Chains A and B, each alone.
Chain A
Amino acid sequence: MEIPAIVGAGLVVIGAGIGIGRIGGSAMDAIARQPEATGKIQTAMLIAAALIEGIGFAALFAV
């Protein structure tokens, strides 16, 4: 049986979602621990999330 490509894309998006969720959650923890470093944590969080997001989009466009 052939597995359609869209299933693979779905799996990648699930993975990317878990990844971005973990980044967001960890950033929340970090901000709660050190509120004075909020700006730096947010910048690092956005960059990491954007990198993972790129993989998710690549999977969607590969379908």
Chain B
Amino acid sequence: MSFVHPRSVEHVYKIIDILETKVSKTEIKEYINHHLLDSHDFGLFSYTTDEGEHKYIGAPLPVILWDNGLQVFYSSKLHHGEHVAEHNGNYYMLHHSKIYKTDAEGTINYDAEHHPTNVKPLDFSITKNVVFILLVAILMFFLFTRMAKSYKGNLMPKGMGRLLEPIVLYVRDEIAVPNIGEKHYKRYMSYLLTVFFFVWIVNLFGLTPIGMNLTNNIAVTFCLAIITYLITTFSGNKNYWKHIFWMPGVPVPMKIILAPIELLGTFIKPFALMIRLYANITAGHIVLMSIIGMMFVFNNWLGSSLSFLLAFVLGILELLVAALQAYIFTVLSALYFGMAVEEHHHDEAH
């Protein structure tokens, strides 16, 4: 073909060559593992130049460490774990998204199980996840204050209200009222609405390519579950505690056996909430990214297009899972609150 400059054909072959040689199974595995972890910098994407140099596109974030006093510096000093960072005479090294204290050469010592034995300073850094939590909080604040303001003077929903009103009413009429009851549901509406929209928005953002993945961080789901646990525990009435420690309607030996099981149950419930959300979203991300990675492993038109089709269908399924997990989390929280505030309106024999 005359209109293609021979050098550009060469260039295309070079790109194909790079794709064939550089994307291996271990590299895809590494990439997926990296995607699932929190990071100390706001990275959008990275690539490797022809000279084998890693280039990162993104912004540094502040690192806040407690190591004989507060140590604050920018994460650009850490060089993505490629060089040792020096700050106030201390040396730090980034290793698998965690910061370790090292000597001037940045050596990391390992024990028999290949775990680093270096000192880990207390890390209060504003990581990528923290930035995204704050962004979602600000987004939700503006969304819902604007929606609330639009109801001033008229009761017809306007703007965002048109989209959000049915969802808010759904949470109230289908989740809160049937599970908690007419009498008490109003106290819990603020939490249920917040957790529903927070988990949903976060899950949806997790499917975008900006690399935001909060609900597949177990610390985030742990905090959500802890809030549910605290609300359940502190709103538990006499009847709720009686059903835990002295189950009515069963013989005394059974009461003694049931008490520890029921007490354990109060911890297992929020624990299951935490694991369910975390595991569902993590599993979804791993499967989706593995199938996207398969496009590069197959590297032929049939296998790659089939993987693309599968990834597309799975992506749509993940949209459903994003909403479903927010719904499940809210329903189960409402169920637990309902158990805690249930009045004793049936006779002793169960």
State how many angstroms separate the Cβ of A1 from the closest Cβ of chain B: 25
Is there contact, CB below 8 Å, between A61 and B279? Answer: yes
Please, what's the 1-or-0 string for A15-26, where 1 marks a CB less than 8 Å from any CB in chain B?
000000000000
Is there contact, CB below 8 Å, between B331 and A43? Answer: yes
B219 at the interface (CB under 8 A from A): no
How far apart are the CA atoms of A51 and B174 in the complex, in Å? 19
A54 at the interface (CB under 8 A from B): yes
A binding-site residues for B, Cβ under 8 Å: 43, 46-47, 50-51, 53-54, 57-58, 60-61
Residues of B within 8 A of A51 (CB): 272
Q: How many residues of B contact A (CB 8 A)?
A: 12
Known: A57-B279, A61-B279. A47 touches B272 (CB 8 A): no
Chain B CB within 10 Å, residue with most, of A51, A54, A60, A61: A54
Known: A43-B174, A43-B331. A50 touches B279 (CB 8 A): no
Residues of A within 8 A of B279 (CB): 57, 60-61
Chain A CB within 10 Å, residue with most, of B276, B280, B332, B335: B276
Is there contact, CB below 8 Å, between A54 and B324? Answer: no
Please, what's the 1-or-0 string for B294-330, where 1 marks a CB less than 8 Å from any CB in chain A?
0000000000000000000000000000001001100
B148 at the interface (CB under 8 A from A): no
User: Could you name 17 residue pairs across A and B whose Cβ atoms are closer than 8 Å?
Assistant: A43-B174, A46-B328, A46-B331, A47-B331, A47-B332, A50-B276, A50-B328, A50-B332, A51-B272, A53-B276, A54-B276, A57-B276, A57-B279, A57-B280, A58-B275, A60-B279, A61-B275
A51's closest neighbor in chain B, by CB? B272
How far apart are the CA atoms of A60 and B327 in the complex, in Å? 23
State how many angstroms separate the Cβ of A36 from the closest Cβ of chain B: 16
Please, what's the 1-or-0 string for B251-278, where 1 marks a CB less than 8 Å from any CB in chain A?
0000000000000000000001001100
Which secondary structure dominates where chain B touches chain A? helix
| Seed contacts A47-B331, A51-B272; 9 additional CB < 8 Å A-B pairs | A43-B331, A46-B328, A47-B328, A50-B328, A50-B332, A54-B272, A57-B275, A57-B279, A58-B272
State how many angstroms separate the Cβ of A16 from the closest Cβ of chain B: 12
How far apart are the CA atoms of A9 and B327 in the complex, in Å? 27
Residues of A within 8 A of B335 (CB): 47
How far apart are the CA atoms of A60 and B276 in the complex, in Å? 11
Is there contact, CB below 8 Å, between B275 and A46? Answer: no
Is there contact, CB below 8 Å, between A46 and B276? Answer: no
How far apart are the CA atoms of A21 and B319 in the complex, in Å? 22
Is there contact, CB below 8 Å, between B324 and A46? Answer: yes
A40's closest neighbor in chain B, by CB? B178
Residues of B within 8 A of A53 (CB): 276, 280
How far apart are the CA atoms of A57 and B276 in the complex, in Å? 7
Is there contact, CB below 8 Å, between B272 and A46? Answer: no
